[in-house]
Structure formats: C-alpha cells, structure tokens
Amino acid sequence: MARKHLLSDLKIPNQAAAEAPGAPEQELASPQYSPRGAIGAVSRSIELLKSQSLSELDPDLIDAPPVRDRLPEDESEFEEFARNIRENGQQVPILVRPHPNSEGRYQVAYGRRRLRAVKAAGMMVKASVRPLTDEELVRAQGQENTGRRDLSFIERALYAAELEANGFERPVIMAALGVDKSNLSRLIQAATQLPKDVIQSIGAAPKTGRDRWYELATRLSNEDVIGSTRALLADSKIKAMSSDDRFAQVFDAAAPKKVKKFKARPQVWQADDGVKAAKYQQDKRSLILTIDNKAAPDFGDYLLSALPEIYASFKKAKQ
C-alpha cells in the first residue's frame, strides 16, 4: 500500500464532530499545532484524542465555574434527577477544564447537576477534560444550555448580567447565549433592575416568562415594596413552594394598591362671602380637601402656611 494512505483512515476527532449531524459548535474548535506532514498529523491526532477523551474523576476535585449559569433548583426536582442517576448511572459526561489556579483540580464548564447527583451517589464522574480559556468556557457553557433550551428566562438574564459584571465583552456573551445585541440588552436590564437576592429567593421559575419578570421589576421599584417582598420570601410556607408559585405570590403581593374610592359625592364648602372655595370628601379614615384655585386664588397657599398654627390650636383645645 502506498505510504500516502497510511493515515487515510485516521479521523481527527474534530472532523468527526463536524460531520456528525447537529454537532454543537463548541466541539468544532481545536488547538493549532506546529508540526507538519505525516508526523505532524499523528501528533495532532494524538493531542486531540487526549483533549477529547473521557476520564473518570473524583467529584471532590471539581470546582464550580467562575460564573454560574443556573439558579439553585427545587430540591424535589433535583431528587428526581439524582434518583435517575443512581438507578441508571451517568449517561452523559460533563465538561471540565484543568483549574487555572489550583494544580490537580478542575473547573466544571457544564454539567453541574450531573456532577452534584453523581457526587451524592458516591460515584466517580465521567468527564471530558479540555484546556479552555475563560471565554471558551463561557461559550461552551452557553452553547450547551442553548442546545438544551431548558434555562428559564431569569436564569439567562442573571447569567448574562453576571458575565458582564465579571468583565466579559458583550460579543462573547451574545455568542454564549445565542442572542443578538438588543435581546442581550433586555436580558441584562431585566436582571439588573431586580435585587439579586430576590431573584435567588424566588428561583428559576421556568414557567414564568419575560413580560411578567419585567412587570415585577416595575412593581419592586419602591424600597418599601422590596422590604415587604423580602419578608414574604423569608416565610417558611413560601420557601416550601415551587419557584413559579413563589413568583406568583411575590407578583400578587407587590401589585399596586388600588386607590380607595369614596362612596359619597364631594361636598362643596362655601365661604360667608359666597365663594365656593373648596370641596371635601370624608369617611371614618380620611378627609380629602380640594381647593379651587380659580375660585379662591392663593387660598391653598395660605391654608398650608397656617396649618401649623391651626394644628397647635387644635391640640390646645383637646387638652
């Protein structure tokens, strides 16, 4: 056989990934090596096979990524997922990189739920180990989530805001989330308009869409409302609810209070000189006085300036 056919059947892993239907984009990136010719081809293949090969790792050696892409999920949902891992084993490997700052340790790019479930089951975790830069990790993380399409709106929004806060450029964030410039701006706006602790206390709320999160941000624009929302989310009964139900509770509680309408019609107050200077409405809880500035110019200003004296006289009469 001619020597030139020696390597014809050796498939470089990235070529195989490129030819596979529906292959995710992050699997197509490959490092560049300097050797050329037949020896160079073999060297590249070996290095690529090493970088793409699966390993079984101790879960205790794997740390969280620099920026988390998910909110903590409801324990009941995780338990169902973990039970499936215990009974059927880990079917899909996670992606990790060698830890940039700790020798012998790793950082997970994606697969945190699988990692947690495998660790809880006391098993070794199947992982693909790849040398990734911070930007490559973010892209892989985002593309994995985009492919599964199971991140909720607020998780995507919080992830985008966290990436920007950690110094990632917007083009990188757009590539990671698969969104354009305007949609990225909306995601970041939604996350930054809401207190982060409130978002985390509510949770992912997978059934809650963009518009209702935007409306909640409007309703929580008042500090008093934010305070009452935090108190509500601290309630043990609310904590026990699903994240969508927690959102619904907060959404309803933060709704603007309706202005009470008086049943009685306004009464006209007429001065001794015949000027109808004011109208008033009164019930057991309040008195609304409306000054007619056209009928009695400057009377309202005078009344305001005289209020301290009037109130002092009232207090004295009550003694």
CATH assignment at residue 174? 1.10.10
Q: Is residue 129 part of a domain?
A: yes
Q: Is residue 1 part of a domain?
A: no
Per-residue pLDDT of the chain (319 residues; tens, 9 = 90+): 444 433 334 333 343 343 333 334 333 333 444 445 545 554 554 454 444 567 899 999 999 887 776 676 667 767 877 888 888 788 778 889 999 888 999 999 888 888 988 998 889 999 989 888 888 888 887 766 654 546 788 988 888 888 888 888 888 888 777 778 888 898 998 889 999 899 989 998 989 988 999 999 999 988 889 999 999 999 999 999 999 999 999 999 999 887 666 667 788 888 888 888 898 888 777 888 899 888 888 888 888 898 888 888 888 888 7
For 13, 51, 130, 273, the CA distances from 35, given in Å and listed in that order, are 18, 17, 21, 105
The residue to which tokens 């601290």 are assigned: 234
Q: Are residues 75 and 135 in the same domain?
A: yes
Taking the CA atoms of 164, 169, 170 and 176 in sequence, report the sign of the dihedral they define. negative
Report the CATH number that the domain containing residue 42 is assigned in CATH.
3.90.1530.30
Q: Is residue 23 part of a domain?
A: no
> Looking at 131, 148, 165, which one is the last position of a domain?
148
Q: Are residues 142 and 172 in the same domain?
A: no
Q: Is residue 208 part of a domain?
A: yes
Count of structural domains within the chain:
3
Q: Are residues 93 and 112 in the same domain?
A: yes
pLDDT of residue 254: 92
**Contact present, 150 and 163 (Cβ < 8 Å):** no
Q: Are residues 98 and 135 in the same domain?
A: yes
Whose CA is closest to 254, among 208, 220, 207, 213? 220
Q: Are residues 88 and 195 in the same domain?
A: no
Q: Is residue 24 part of a domain?
A: no
In angstroms, the CA 155 to CA 157 distance is: 5
pLDDT of residue 143: 67
Which structural domain, as residue segments, surrounds residue 237?
152-257
pLDDT of residue 226: 92
Q: Are residues 227 and 295 in the same domain?
A: no
> Looking at 212, 233, 257, which one is the last position of a domain?
257
Q: Are residues 141 and 166 in the same domain?
A: no
Instruction: At 38, list the tokens.
Output: 């037949």
Q: Is residue 25 part of a domain?
A: no
Q: Are residues 108 and 192 in the same domain?
A: no
Q: Are residues 56 and 120 in the same domain?
A: yes
Taking the CA atoms of 243, 248, 249 and 255 in sequence, report the sign of the dihedral they define. positive
pLDDT of residue 258: 73
pLDDT of residue 145: 61
> Looking at 148, 176, 209, which one is the last position of a domain?
148
Q: Are residues 77 and 47 in the same domain?
A: yes
Q: Are residues 61 and 114 in the same domain?
A: yes
**Contact present, 219 and 254 (Cβ < 8 Å):** yes
Q: Are residues 180 and 219 in the same domain?
A: yes
